[in-house]
């Protein structure tokens, strides 16, 4: 099955890769895992060198900002929207700086794109976003996408980057979406709480039974979405 999947993937020309917050950090400390980030960027650059269009959808801005500011757990739990937006502003800049530096080491150029629901539901904004993605990819640039948490409120929030990555896939006409996560894939139940949960390697036709298997739970305090959004 693995060889079949690899064969299926190799001919795709435009690929969206999404990585979650928990996959970017050390579980023990919450600090960024630079080894994981470097390996991810190297693989993306290698795909770009094969002539493929590559788009990265990354989480982590708020979590990185919280660590940079030094909020303790209690302050994080009590944090209102303004604190989260402030953390996003700090963390997004820090995260993008790290991505830019590592992409540059592999002779690739990265660009930041921040989106909200307004980007999608407003026809004029959506067309502008499509044009921006198209021009960046034509120029060989790797777009790095995140939700604009610095300004997003309930009315304009997308919600999680699983959904955002699917939107970006449709917006750009990508051939393939890959979700990188701290869990192997779909299980019949949450394997973190149910040791008898069985792994489902391939889902060819999505059914109501499969939808019921997806949980909102995540494997960390910084992730959102869970398997149900995937």
Domains of the chain: 13-182 (3.40.1160.10), 187-224 (no CATH)
Residue 142 · residue 55 · CB < 8 Å: yes
The overall average pLDDT reported for the chain is 83
Q: What's the pLDDT at 156? A: 56
Q: Determine the average pLDDT of the residues in 81-106.
A: 92
Q: Determine the average pLDDT of the residues in 85-89.
A: 88
Q: Which of 22-31, 44-53, 68-77, 134-143 has the lowest mean pLDDT?
A: 68-77
Residue 1 has pLDDT above 70, yes or no: no
DSSP E strands, the chain: 14-19, 53-58, 110-115, 142-147, 176-180, 186-187, 199-200
pLDDT band at 223 (very low <50, low <70, confident <90, very high): very low
Helix pair 34-49, 81-105: axis angle to 10 deg: 60
Find which of 24-33, 45-54, 152-161, 172-181 is predicted with most confidence, using mean pLDDT. 45-54
- Count of CB atoms within 10 A of residue 86's CB? 17
Q: What's the pLDDT at 225? A: 47
Give the long-range contacts of residues 92-101, CB within 8 A, separation 24 or more: 92/61, 92/64, 92/65, 92/146, 92/149, 92/150, 94/64, 94/65, 94/68, 95/58, 95/60, 95/61, 95/64, 95/146, 96/144, 98/32, 98/34, 98/37, 99/37, 99/41, 99/56, 99/58, 99/144
Q: What's the pLDDT at 91? A: 92
Instruction: Give the chain's radius of gyration (CA, Å).
Output: 18
Residue 219 has pLDDT above 70, yes or no: no
Q: Which of 36-50, 127-141, 154-168 has the lowest mean pLDDT?
A: 154-168
Residue 43 has pLDDT above 90, yes or no: yes
Residue 222 has pLDDT above 50, yes or no: no
């Amino acid at each position: 099955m693995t060889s079949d999947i690899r064969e299926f993937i190799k001919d795709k020309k435009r690929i969206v890769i999404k990585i979650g917050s928990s996959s970017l950090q050390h579980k023990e400390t919450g600090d960024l895992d630079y080894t994981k980030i470097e390996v991810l960027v190297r693989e993306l650059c290698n795909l770009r060198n094969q002539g493929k269009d590559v788009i990265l959808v990354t989480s982590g801005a708020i979590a990185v900002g919280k660590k940079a500011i030094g909020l303790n757990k209690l302050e994080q739990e009590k944090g209102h929207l303004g604190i989260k937006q402030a953390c996003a502003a700090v963390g997004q800049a820090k995260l993008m700086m790290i991505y830019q530096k590592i992409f540059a080491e592999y002779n690739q150029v990265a660009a930041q794109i921040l989106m909200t629901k307004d980007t999608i539901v407003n026809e004029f904004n959506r067309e502008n976003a499509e044009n921006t993605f198209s021009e960046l990819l034509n120029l060989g640039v790797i777009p790095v996408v995140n939700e604009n948490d610095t300004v997003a409120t309930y009315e304009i929030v997308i919600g999680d980057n699983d959904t955002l990555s699917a939107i970006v896939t449709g917006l750009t006409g990508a051939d393939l979406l890959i979700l990188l996560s701290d869990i192997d894939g779909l299980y019949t139940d949450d394997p973190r709480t149910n040791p008898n949960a069985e792994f489902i390697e391939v889902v060819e036709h999505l059914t109501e039974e499969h939808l019921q298997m997806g949980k909102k739970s995540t494997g960390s305090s910084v992730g959102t979405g869970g398997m149900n959004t995937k």
